[in-house]
Chain A
């Protein structure tokens, strides 16, 4: 996505919305404070994210409104309408869609005899691949073990040992 943002820097805006940790672990625990989100987002910046970044509220008010999945991507057209939505970020797909959205805009501006049509598609992606192609378990060994257990169907990952039921800061969570 970073390369795409560079290639289309003059034609489109790019925005990264930092949301909850998808695979929290001992290195990046589940968020309990907004400041934790800022710290984690800064860590993402240091790992090479150059796009403009905004940080969602602690409980994800924008994330939920847009569907709440972990690595989704959207393209909003120049008039503020949704032009593309996908539950996973796939760079070549977004590149092609962005090109088409720009071409569509230009065709409409040209005033030709064209009509809209609606379409949807289901895509397929490698199950274990991150959108940025990076290391999968930056959260740490806890995240990796939980993921493997869930894959094996032995345990729901709706409960993390890193946060105690009923609140309260668990041990090992840095308090900003």
Chain B
């Protein structure tokens, strides 16, 4: 059950940066992405541990909207290390 959820989430995530249509699934790890405030620890941690990019791999590139306007592409920051924190207000 947990493994199935991880496999599904990984399949969506792998396509996420290449195909925005496929990426916009409201579901994630057996729940709803924006509803989930507490997930099964095993699934969440296992997905991170086993399905996110490993140290030594190329970081998946992305372009996102800057809060103050315009866009930012990760690869445009090459030349210096980039410390990225993911988070929210709550």
Residues of A within 8 A of B (CB): 1, 4-5, 8, 11-25, 28, 30-32, 38, 40-45, 47, 51-85, 87, 89, 94, 98, 101-102, 105, 116, 118, 120, 131, 137-139, 143, 146-147, 150, 156-160, 163
Contact = CB atoms under 8 A, between A and B. Distances in A.
Given A21-B90, A68-B29, A81-B59, A41 B81 contact: no
B17 A15 contact: no
A84 B55 contact: yes
Contacts of B81: 11-13, 75-78, 83, 98, 101-102, 105
Interface of B: 9, 12-14, 16-17, 20, 23-26, 28-39, 44-45, 47-49, 51-62, 64-68, 72, 74-75, 77-90
Contacts of B90: 21-25, 28, 137-139, 143
B75 to A, nearest CB: 6
A85 B52 contact: yes
A61 B16 contact: yes
Given A67-B48, A79-B78, A60 B88 contact: no
A76 B82 contact: yes
A167 B55 CA distance: 38
Most chain B Cβ neighbours within 10 Å, of A8, A67, A143: A67
Contacts of B55: 82-85, 118, 120
A98 B18 CA distance: 29
B84 A17 contact: yes
Nearest to B65: A55
A72 B61 CA distance: 17
B86 to A, nearest CB: 5
A40 B35 contact: no
Most chain A Cβ neighbours within 10 Å, of B72, B82, B88: B88
B7 to A, nearest CB: 13
Nearest to B25: A59
Given A57-B20, A64-B12, A158 B58 contact: no
Contact of B38 (A31, A43, A72, A157): A157
